[in-house]
């Protein structure tokens, strides 16, 4: 520490600080125009000159370090005189257009001239006449007003690291300009606008909006990222006209980025558009899609935003393709809601039937328990066209043709009924189910002969499986169902439920796990009780005009991509809030960056219905914010309060609004006889059936953004049987064109003996593979088996 | 002068123009970073230009001195800190020249073309014809051994005749000296020139 006196006041200052800093710290004001504490000393404006005792020269306090025993005077007549002269000189060529300058009222030059200047000017000449540069999108540059303090140039280069502005020329004719006088192309952070002491650099969106002294200023936290910068909003008559960063306020201390400074634009734009769409077409023209990737809190905030702020009940999530279908089946078959599975359920079972699913891939821990049950003596029957880990460990592998699981179930039931392997009394009693007779009638046609022709099994295999399953004491049947699997739908769940009811088992003998980490939670937070779901929003041509998508990528993940994309592009407003620039985000009007899962706190509810807290493990990337905070800020922009300030508030609201317990409705079990319908039958033109199946390394499309996961599997492979590969002349690892009636994609072939002849398997994860170009939409979940043809690409 | 170098000049030099010459250099060389030097030197130069072109006013000397001192005190580097020195020293030692430029609009050295008139004193002129021969704009007329005359609307005030004349017959008078009189082919007698001198 160094001791010095400034204006006879003894002060202590750290070694190396400048006189100006020491003075400001001790409440002594020294006028300055080119000093910014973020920048290195410059000493150009010379307003901060001070007298130091014993020194003949004046010191520029902003660039002179303190020294022990220094006696500094900051406000002597000599200094006042010199400051007057300097201000006079600055004003020689500064246009006095304050009446039409947005900076007026908060202009440093104006303030300093008011405080230190003098009324009369001795020199009247050299008004510069350069026209303002208004070519850039957000920032305009009026070099006439520039006093060449260089702060903009320095903050851009030194602080922001962009270097988009320079002092061009020298001497009297110096101007601040982008290189070669081109249009300002930069980060548009607007730091230069805030630091400019005059009206030389101004925000274009704010131009001529309001006089500075008429603005009501309110501090808020920037919604765009995890930095949580303090924005000072300029509000007039309830409208946010601008946001700026102010020195010494909040964590950001005056620094802002383009999103914060000009980003109220984005929220304002969304708010205005939403209001406009709602006004013109009614609130029902606005829809929203939540996501299993987001926390319960995020999804809750989204539905609350839609219902309370927009007044629309059109909200859904991709669970519509999976878990929502399971819920539908549950209600129909068992009269129950809130279906949840138990990961422990395979244990202690005598027979386990897995239908066209591979839980060891989609739900690995559940899969492990299935294998454990098998080791402990259970009979594991796996009906699957594909050779999987479970088929290899199975007691009996029913290698059915893709998409024929429903026929198999009906066949098994028919065998059970014909052979009397069930309790007819019990099955036809109202306690177990209603409609047994109609089931019997429906199953009449599913003779072993017919079923075996459809599924490709032998009659012995079918009979053995039916007998083993029906003969077991404790049974379990499991099917997975998700948007990424195209071979199953509502009907197969109903058929499975029929089997469960037929054998007199309770509902928990059927285990249909919710597909992703928070599918269960997302479904319960948003999908329940909504008016229009995904099927109405995307596939029925209807009047949806605005869509708010949070954490979902319909353009890639939803079936029938071309329909989705045309739907998306027909919208008047598409807002995508996601952690990365997804395919969908590419056609959005506004993209809002949200934090990823490890970047925020919140809760996920798993397939067992257990709500678990997730914790912020890393700082949010770049400029993202948790979804619920973006929604809260958007609601505030629209003039409504969602009523929660933090995560705890939402959690409390969720707990009081939803009880995530199985509903206490009196169960009304009911048979729902369903017929096997073929999807797209392979024909001469499209001879192969395409099955979409998850692979172990990935989950949804987001994991393909993991570099390490992509090291393992980095491409959507078209898996094809050796015989078919030979037949169509496709070498391993060569490129093939896959076409369906919907469209065509190019994939790399992987020849595999796990695949049955006549079928090809693809994984749905890779956005660039655009698998859904090939698929169609089916309201019952899944997209149905697709008939495709393949050609070798040379 | 400015850098501290010494320049020897005689009374054929106008000190205001000399100061202006140095300011032209420094205003041109100013890098433009600090305000006093960037704008101050330019203002000094403009004021000196005004004075040499007859637009000076009475407060200018005071203003020049004042501004010069402020520029010296406030400038960032040696250029700005010394740039006004020529102004200050010429004012200090040749204040009368500044005054005659401003008040009389008369550059006695005949350097500031707007502030002087060249006339031939009829009584001193021997009619040798030397001036007639050096005049590049052919403004001088006259027969041998008779007093010559300068046509004022042709004369460009280049000082050639003044420097050539061996008889001191060419006089430099303020531009306003002939105001109200016909400017064509004027000469002047010693009486008048002495009076003004």
- Residues in a beta bridge with A234: A217, A242
Q: Which two tokens stand for residue A267?
A: 């929220």
Most confident of A38-47, A608-617, A618-627: A38-47
Domain-located, residue B22: yes
Chain A, chain B: beta-carbon pairs less than 8 Å apart: 83
* Chain B residues interacting with chain A (CB cutoff of 8 angstroms): 27-36, 38-40, 42-43, 46-47, 59, 63, 66-67, 70, 73-76
Query: Would the CB atoms of A86 and B70 count as touching at under 8 Å?
Result: yes
CA distance A479 to A210: 62
Residue in A85, A93, A174 closest to B70 by CB = A85
pLDDT band at A146; cut points 50, 70, 90: very high
* CA-based R_g, chain A, Å: 35
- Residues in a beta bridge with A483: none
Q: How many independent structural domains does chain B possess?
A: 2
- Contact criterion met (CB below 8 Å) for A286 and A277: yes
pLDDT at A452: 92
- The CATH class for the domain spanning A2-75 reads alpha beta
CATH code, A98-103+123-262:
3.30.70.20
Of A147-161, A530-544, A562-576, B117-131, the poorest mean pLDDT is in A530-544
Please give the share of chain A, as a percent, with pLDDT higher than 90.
25
Q: Are residues B31 and B93 in the same domain?
A: yes
Surface-to-core class of residue B164, CB atoms within 10 Å of its CB (0-12 exposed, 13-18 middle, 19+ buried): middle
CA distance A291 to A269: 23
Of A563-572, B42-51, B87-96, B164-173, the poorest mean pLDDT is in A563-572
Residue in B32, B36, B59 closest to A171 by CB = B32
pLDDT mean over A789-794: 80
Of B104, B131, B164, the one marking the end of a domain is B104
pLDDT at B194: 46
Query: Would the CB atoms of A171 and B31 count as touching at under 8 Å?
Result: yes
Domain-located, residue B40: yes
The helix (H) or strand (E) run that includes residue A165 is strand A165-168
ipTM above 0.90, yes or no: no
At the fourth CATH level, which superfamily is domain A323-511?
A: Dimethylsulfoxide Reductase, domain 2 (3.40.228.10)
Residue A126 in contact with partner chain B when CB distance is under 8 A: yes
Cβ neighbours of B79 in A, within 8 Å: none
Could you tell me which of A409, A440, A462, A456 has the C-alpha nearest to residue A757?
A: A456
pLDDT band at A542; cut points 50, 70, 90: low
Q: Look at chain B and count its residues.
A: 197
Domain-located, residue B166: yes
Check pLDDT > 50 for residue A280: yes
Check pLDDT > 80 for residue A221: no
pLDDT mean over A247-253: 63
- Contact criterion met (CB below 8 Å) for B84 and B44: yes
pLDDT at B1: 61
- Residues in a beta bridge with A355: A383
Check pLDDT > 70 for residue A776: yes
Check pLDDT > 80 for residue A264: no
**CATH 3.40.50.740 applies to domain A281-319+518-657:** yes
Q: Coil, strand, or helix at residue B6?
A: coil
CA distance A514 to A752: 29
pLDDT at A603: 80
Cβ neighbours of A148 in B, within 8 Å: 32-33, 35, 38
CA geometry: angle A289, A651, A527, nearest 5 deg: 25
pLDDT at A683: 84
Phi, psi for residue A274 in degrees, rounded to 5: -60, -40
pLDDT band at A393; cut points 50, 70, 90: confident
Query: Would the CB atoms of B39 and A169 count as touching at under 8 Å?
Result: no
Residue in B32, B66, B74 closest to A148 by CB = B32
Check pLDDT > 90 for residue A295: no
pLDDT at B20: 95
**pLDDT greater at residue B196 or residue A582:** A582
CA distance B15 to B125: 29
Identify each DSSP E strand in A92-150 by its residue range.
139-141
- Residues in a beta bridge with A750: A719
Check pLDDT > 60 for residue B197: no
Chain A residue whose CA is closest to B25: A171
Domains of chain A by residue range: 2-75, 98-103+123-262, 281-319+518-657, 323-511, 688-792
pLDDT at A25: 92
pLDDT at B195: 45
Q: Are residues B22 and B100 in the same domain?
A: yes
pLDDT tens-digit profile of A422-456?
A: 888 888 876 667 788 888 888 988 999 999 999 99
> Domain residues for B185?
116-196
Of A336-340, A534-538, A612-616, the poorest mean pLDDT is in A612-616
Span between the terminal Cα atoms of chain B, in Å = 29
Query: Would the CB atoms of B30 and A171 count as touching at under 8 Å?
Result: yes
A648-665 burial, b for 16+ CB within 10 Å, e for fewer?
eebbebbeeebebeeeee
Give, as one character, the DSSP assignment of residue A769: G
Could you tell me which of A431, A421, A406 has the C-alpha nearest to residue A351?
A: A421
pLDDT tens-digit profile of A574-590?
A: 988 887 778 888 888 88
Of B104, B136, B159, the one marking the end of a domain is B104
User: How much is the pTM?
Assistant: 0.60
Average pLDDT score, chain A: 83
CATH number of the domain within which B136 lies: 3.30.70.20
Q: Are residues B79 and B121 in the same domain?
A: no
Residue A50 in contact with partner chain B when CB distance is under 8 A: no
pLDDT tens-digit profile of B172-195?
A: 988 876 665 544 445 555 555 444
- Residues in a beta bridge with A253: none
- Residues in a beta bridge with A219: A232
Check pLDDT > 60 for residue A657: yes
Nearest chain B CA: its distance from A190 CA (Å): 23
The helix (H) or strand (E) run that includes residue B88 is helix B85-99
Instruction: Tokens 């935003």: give the residue.
Output: A305
- Contact criterion met (CB below 8 Å) for B35 and A44: yes
Q: Are residues B183 and B125 in the same domain?
A: yes
pLDDT band at A46; cut points 50, 70, 90: very high
pLDDT mean over B102-130: 90
Q: Which fold has domain A688-792?
A: Barwin-like endoglucanases (2.40.40)
Instruction: Tokens 């198999």: give the residue.
Output: A408
Of B79, B104, B129, the one marking the end of a domain is B104
Q: Are residues B82 and B122 in the same domain?
A: no
Please give the share of chain A, as a percent, with pLDDT higher than 70.
88
Check pLDDT > 90 for residue A701: no
pLDDT mean over A119-134: 80
Of A330-344, A488-502, B125-139, the poorest mean pLDDT is in A330-344
């Amino acid at each position: 520490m160094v001791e010095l006196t400034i204006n006879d006041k003894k002060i202590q200052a750290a070694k190396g600080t400048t006189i100006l800093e020491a003075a400001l710290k001790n409440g002594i004001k020294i006028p300055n125009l080119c000093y910014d504490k973020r920048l290195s000393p410059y000493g150009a404006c010379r307003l901060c000159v001070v007298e130091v005792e014993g020194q003949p020269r004046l010191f520029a306090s902003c660039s002179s370090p303190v020294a022990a025993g220094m006696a500094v005077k900051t406000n002597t007549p000599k200094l006042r005189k010199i400051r007057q002269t300097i201000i006079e000189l600055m004003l020689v060529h500064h246009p006095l257009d304050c009446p039409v300058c947005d900076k007026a009222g908060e202009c440093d030059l104006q303030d300093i001239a008011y405080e230190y200047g003098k009324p009369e000017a001795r020199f009247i000449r050299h008004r510069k006449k350069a026209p303002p540069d208004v070519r850039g999108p957000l920032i305009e540059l009026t070099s006439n007003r520039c006093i060449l303090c260089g702060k903009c140039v320095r903050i851009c280069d030194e602080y922001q690291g962009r270097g988009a502005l320079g002092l061009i020329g020298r001497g009297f004719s110096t101007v601040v300009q982008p290189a070669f006088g081109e249009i300002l192309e930069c980060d548009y952070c607007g730091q230069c606008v805030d630091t400019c002491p005059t009206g030389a650099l101004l925000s274009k969106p704010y131009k001529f909006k309001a006089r500075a002294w008429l603005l009501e200023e309110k501090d808020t936290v920037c919604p765009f990222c995890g930095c949580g910068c303090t924005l000072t909003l300029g509000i007039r008559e309830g409208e946010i006209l601008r946001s700026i960063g102010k020195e010494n306020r909040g964590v950001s201390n005056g620094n802002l980025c383009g999103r914060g400074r000009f980003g109220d634009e984005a929220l304002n734009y969304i708010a205005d558009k939403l209001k406009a769409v709602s006004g013109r077409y009614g609130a029902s023209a606005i829809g929203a899609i939540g996501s299993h990737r987001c926390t319960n809190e995020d999804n809750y905030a989204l539905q609350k935003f839609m219902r309370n702020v927009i007044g629309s009940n059109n909200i859904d999530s991709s669970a519509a393709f999976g878990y929502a279908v399971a819920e539908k089946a549950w209600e129909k078959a068992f009269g129950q809601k809130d279906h949840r599975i138990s990961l422990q359920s395979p244990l202690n079972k005598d027979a386990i039937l897995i239908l066209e699913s591979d839980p060891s891939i989609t739900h690995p821990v559940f899969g492990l328990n299935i294998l454990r049950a098998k080791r402990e003596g259970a009979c594991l029957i796996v009906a699957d066209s594909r050779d999987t880990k479970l088929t290899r460990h199975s007691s009996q592998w029913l290698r059915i043709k893709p998409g024929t699981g429903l026929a198999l179930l009906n066949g098994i039931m028919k065998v059970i009924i014909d052979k009397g392997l069930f309790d007819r009394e019990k099955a036809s009693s109202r306690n177990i189910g209603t409609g047994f007779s109609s089931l019997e009638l429906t199953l009449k046609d599913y003779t072993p002969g017919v079923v075996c022709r459809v599924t490709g099994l032998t009659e012995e295999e079918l009979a053995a499986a039916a007998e083993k399953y029906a003969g077991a004491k404790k049974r379990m049947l499991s099917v997975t169902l998700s948007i990424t699997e195209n071979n199953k739908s509502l009907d197969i769940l109903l058929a499975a439920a029929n089997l469960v009811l037929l054998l007199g088992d309770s509902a928990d003998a059927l285990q249909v796990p919710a597909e992703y980490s928070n599918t269960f939670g997302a479904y319960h937070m948003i999908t329940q009780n909504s008016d229009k779901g995904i099927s109405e929003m995307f596939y029925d041509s209807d009047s949806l005009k605005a869509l708010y998508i949070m954490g979902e990528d319909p353009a890639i993940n939803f079936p029938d991509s071309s329909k989705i994309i045309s739907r998306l592009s027909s919208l008047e407003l598409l807002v995508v809030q996601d952690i990365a620039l997804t395919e969908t985000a590419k056609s959005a009007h506004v993209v809002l960056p949200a934090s990823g899962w490890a970047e925020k706190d919140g809760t996920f509810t798993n397939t067992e219905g257990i709500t678990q807290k997730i914790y912020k493990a890393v700082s949010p990337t770049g400029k993202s914010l948790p979804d619920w905070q973006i929604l809260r800020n958007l609601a505030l922009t629209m003039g409504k309060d969602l009523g929660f300030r933090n995560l705890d508030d939402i959690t409390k609201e969720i707990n009081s609004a939803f009880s995530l317990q199985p509903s206490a409705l009196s169960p009304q079990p009911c048979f729902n006889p369903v017929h096997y319908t073929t999807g797209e039958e392979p024909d001469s033109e499209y001879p192969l059936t395409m099955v979409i199946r998850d692979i172990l390394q990935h989950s949804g499309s987001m994991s393909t953004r993991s570099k390490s996961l992509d090291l393992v599997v980095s491409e959507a492979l078209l898996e094809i049987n050796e015989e078919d590969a030979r037949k169509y002349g496709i070498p391993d690892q060569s490129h093939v064109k896959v076409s369906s009636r919907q469209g065509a994609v190019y994939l790399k072939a992987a020849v595999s003996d796990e695949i049955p002849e006549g079928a090809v398997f693809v994984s749905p994860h890779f956005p660039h593979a655009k698998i859904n170009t090939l698929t169609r939409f089916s309201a019952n979940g899944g997209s149905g088996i697709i008939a495709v043809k393949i050609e070798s690409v040379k | 002068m400015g850098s501290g170098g010494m320049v020897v000049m005689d009374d054929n030099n106008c000190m205001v123009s000399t100061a202006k010459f140095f300011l032209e250099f420094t205003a041109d060389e100013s890098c433009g970073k600090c305000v006093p030097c960037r704008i101050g030197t330019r203002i000094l130069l403009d004021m000196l230009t005004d004075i040499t072109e007859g637009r000076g006013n009475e407060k200018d000397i005071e203003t020049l001195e004042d501004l010069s001192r402020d520029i010296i005190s406030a400038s960032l580097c040696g250029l700005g800190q010394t740039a006004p020195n020529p102004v200050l020293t010429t004012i200090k030692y040749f204040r009368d020249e500044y005054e005659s430029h401003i008040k009389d609009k008369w550059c006695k050295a005949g350097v500031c073309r707007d502030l002087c008139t060249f006339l031939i004193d009829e009584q001193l002129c021997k009619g040798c014809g030397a001036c007639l021969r050096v005049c590049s704009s052919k403004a001088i007329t006259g027969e041998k051994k008779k007093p010559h005359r300068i046509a004022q609307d042709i004369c460009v005030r280049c000082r050639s005749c003044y420097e050539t004349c061996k008889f001191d017959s060419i006089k430099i008078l303020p531009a306003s000296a002939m105001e109200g009189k016909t400017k064509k082919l004027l000469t002047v007698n010693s009486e008048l020139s002495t009076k003004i001198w």
